[in-house]
Amino acid sequence: MKQTFYKYQGTGNDFVMIDNRQQTFDKNNTKHVALLCDRRFGIGADGLILLENHDDVDFKMVYYNADGNQSSMCGNGGRCLVAFAKQLGVIKDKAVFEAIDGLHHATIEGDIVKLQMVDVDTVEKYEDHVFLDTGSPHHVQFENQIEAFDIKAEGSKIRYGSPYNEAGSNVNFVKKLNDQTFTVRTYERGVEDETLSCGTGATAVALAMHAINETTDHLITLQVQGGELQVSFELEDGLYKNVWLIGSAKLVFKGTI
């Protein structure tokens, strides 16, 4: 059976996109999803995303990690899905869609997609790191030698270590450039490697840096391996709200497999 797909990337975080409004895709076949994401034997991607119909909002997002398993929220994937929905004619310049962590609002202008993320009311501060959930769990810590740092080796130790254990956490290493700008490199669970960008990770870093007083700004620039993202937010009574992830999302190619 031939499968039509679209390949999108958001600051180097790449995804296989499939229009599943007719419910033709086998969502329980994890091996097939993993094959499609395989960079040698398949299309190659950090994850696979299905766009599906929804009764009350514009569409539904179903997200799989590269290992074939459904996973928690993916910020760059959500932004790419908005661009995909526009290409399909499902939306024009704004959207409301449902993901695993609830409803998301988004706008699109050119190739810039702004995606509203979940509110965050808990930022756990430790001596050497910060932990918070921005739709996906994220460990955040400083690393001044970030350019030469072995992200895969060190990230995997933290990802599987205590207290995260079996469930695991994404791991972000951060270097401060100035009060508004930070360099970020991310090890993603499910991909089990460094990715060129991570949207929920960039969001987590922005909020973490504000929470530990490394910045007082409410618009933070994150330099990732695949480009640049921005995160804006408001803080009210300990609640980070009106959180927006901003960056490019582009079609790479369309094909059949």
**185 assigned binding-site residue:** no
The strand pairing partners of 230, in sequence order, are: 221, 246
Report residue 98 as tokens.
């449902």
Q: 164, 160, 162, 144: which is closest to 152 by C-alpha?
A: 160
The gap between the terminal CA atoms of the chain, to the nearest Å, is 8
75-88 vs 199-211: helix axis angle to the nearest 10? 130
Identify residue 63 by its one-letter amino acid code: Y
Helix (H) or strand (E) holding 5: strand 4-10
**213 assigned binding-site residue:** no
**144 assigned binding-site residue:** no
Q: Is 37 annotated as catalytic?
A: no
Decide: 81 and 93 in contact? Cβ < 8 Å.
no
Report residue 157 as tokens.
């130790």
Q: Which of 16, 48, 74, 206 is catalytic?
A: 74
Q: Which of 198, 202, 204, 246 is catalytic?
A: 198
**189 assigned binding-site residue:** yes
Q: 123, 138, 131, 130: which is closest to 199 by C-alpha?
A: 138
3-state SS, residue 32: helix
**170 assigned binding-site residue:** yes
Peptide bond into 163 cis (omega under 30): yes
**76 assigned binding-site residue:** yes
**238 assigned binding-site residue:** no
Known binding-site residue numbers for substrate: 13, 65, 75-76, 170, 188-189, 199-200
Binding-site residue ranges: 13, 65, 75-76, 170, 188-189, 199-200
Q: Which sequence positions are flagged as catalytic?
A: 74, 198
